[in-house]
A and B are shown apart, each in its own frame.
Chain A
Amino acid sequence: MSESSKEFEFETAIRELERIVARLDREGIGLDEAIALFEQGIERLGEARRWLDTASGRVEELIASSTGGLEAMPLEGAEAPGGGSEDRTEDEP
């Protein structure tokens, strides 16, 4: 599987970002806290953007393994992850 325990939690990053923005919007926040929050937010934002730019999920097929269990193998004939210019139109034929 993918980078197992160190999976970047995009959704968590987004939630944190939203929380930071909400706190920044609060009345009565101190300048120092605001700057700290802002810096945190910028960092999360950068992480999330970098992750979006690079993340590429696998396409796998679950097939019966020799031991009788199931294993995920790369799906034959599927596009390589992240590959291919995906210029196809969005319209359904």
Chain B
Amino acid sequence: MNVTRQASLFGAAEVRDGRSPEGAITVSDLNEAARGTLEKRFGDLWVRGEVTNWTRSSAGHRYFSLRDQERDASVACVFFRGDAWRLPMDPEDGMEVFVHGRPTLYARQGRFQLRVRALETAGEGLWRIAFERLRRKLAAEGLLDPERKRALPEFPRRVGVVTSRKGAALQDIITVLRRRAPWVEIVVRHCRVQGEGAAAEVRAALQRLADWGASDPNRTLDAIILSRGGGSMEDLWCFNEETAVRAVATSPVPVICAVGHEVDVTLCELVADLRAPTPSAAAELAVPDIRHVRASLDTAGRGLARGLRRLIVRGSDRVEALAQRLPASAGHARDVAKLRLDTMAARLPAGMERVLARSRARLAELAASLDARSPLATVARGYAVATDVEGRRLTRIDDFAPSQRFRLRVAGGQVAATADAVERDAAEPHAGEPDA
């Protein structure tokens, strides 16, 4: 008990110990002394009872009574905001709870009370109840429907990340995004991911990121990853708070959510467009792997080569068929056809897929086989081939008449010519004239 010494009018020290009217102590001294004694004597305790008269002050403190119905006893409890914010919901009247706190005295009113630090419910936990209630509410609104889930773009350019700048989750996400999709722009918006007010920060971060993305076509966000690493259920709780959950559900940008490590699913994850077990996994879902993108380009390249090869082969077949059907005199048509194939071969860009190289080989083969049957091979050896202006081959003297215009195919080109005279070999019988 406080003992106050005070100088008396007469100069002698007087002891104020409450043992005499002269030594009376003040009310505040009494209450302070009682409070000190109580707190020292009891320390922190677990107390069980029924909640009644739960109220919340404007400052965020909770006041209630804990009642022992059987023995008709009750104790006033105060649960300050600094501790009470952790509660997922207010307990209901009559709910059986355990509180952890310290018996103390409220000095201003001299009232005995429990200063509560933590509250848990008997039976089904308060967290479970709060979770289930909100889950049912969201389900009733259709916010958990699979049809609501939006597909992510196959090839995102810009990905938003909402998480704590201090957490390991952020580094994990950035590492995976950069490894898989180095082209992707990453825009991070920091928010606290646990503690009082975290849910409101999550909401604000999602909204501001989405607003920023919508403010300019060159900022369009393809997806937002909302994430944090593992922690206790209490640490992760803000992702079960209505404020955060509704922000995810109404986000104009598809949200991939990964909170904690697998075991506990939060409501944010349930309403998100995609859910991942870990921050790294969320990043993997957000973007394709550059190796797969390259592979799909290779496939497209092979498709191109295949398409062209098919045409070349078909074209070649056609030329071949044509060459076989044409009479020997139709060398010119064959030349034209061959020329066409040559042109085609020349126009194929260099350095193509192997498939294309094979097409070319096929082309060369074909050209060679055409050559074997074409007059060009002969010409190349130093002979000339004469044709009329229509390209029909002139092979016999009877094909010529004096002053006739004709063409000579020689190596490297053609010559336009006129027959000055037609001189039959002596041994050559005149066409249409009976042999002598």
Contact = CB atoms under 8 A, between A and B. Distances in A.
Interface of A: 1-2, 4-5, 7, 10-11, 14, 17-18, 20-21, 24-25, 29, 31, 34-35, 37-39, 41-42, 45, 48-49, 51-52, 55-63, 70, 72, 75, 78-79, 81-82, 84, 86, 88, 92
Q: How large is the interface on B (under 10, 10 to 19, 20 to 34, 35 or more residues)?
A: 35 or more
Contacts of A14: 155, 296-297, 300
Contacts of B303: 21, 24-25
Interface stretch (B14-22, B78-86, B177-185): B177-185
B179 A86 contact: yes
15 contacts: A4-B218, A14-B155, A17-B297, A21-B303, A25-B303, A41-B300, A42-B301, A42-B304, A48-B297, A49-B297, A55-B182, A57-B182, A72-B187, A75-B186, A92-B281
A49 B278 CA distance: 31
Interface string B388-409: 0000000000000000000000
B218 A2 contact: yes
A10 to B, nearest CB: 6
Given A10-B155, A62-B209, A21 B189 contact: no
Nearest to B216: A1
Give the dominant DSSP class at B's interface.
helix
Contacts of A63: 190
Interface stretch (B307-315, B327-335, B374-382): B307-315
B326 interface: no
Contacts of A2: 185, 218
Interface of B: 153-155, 157-158, 165, 174-175, 178-179, 181-190, 208-209, 212, 216, 218-219, 278, 280-281, 290, 293-294, 296-297, 300-301, 303-304, 306-308, 310-311, 315, 340, 344, 347-349, 352
B154 A58 contact: no
B269 to A, nearest CB: 17
Contact of B187 (A5, A60, A88): A60
A91 to B, nearest CB: 10
A49 B298 CA distance: 10
A52 B186 contact: no
A79 B178 contact: yes
Q: Most chain-A CB neighbours within 10 Å: which of B181, B294, B308? A: B308
Contacts of B209: 62
Given A31-B344, A41-B300, A70 B212 contact: yes
A17 to B, nearest CB: 5
A81 B184 CA distance: 10
Contact of B304 (A45, A52, A58): A45
Contacts of B183: 10, 51-52, 55-57
Q: Most chain-B CB neighbours within 10 Å: which of A20, A49, A61, A82? A: A61
Contacts of B212: 62, 70, 72
B218 A79 contact: no
A24 B301 CA distance: 12
Given A18-B300, A62-B208, A25 B307 contact: yes
B296 A61 contact: no
Nearest to A21: B303
B208 to A, nearest CB: 6
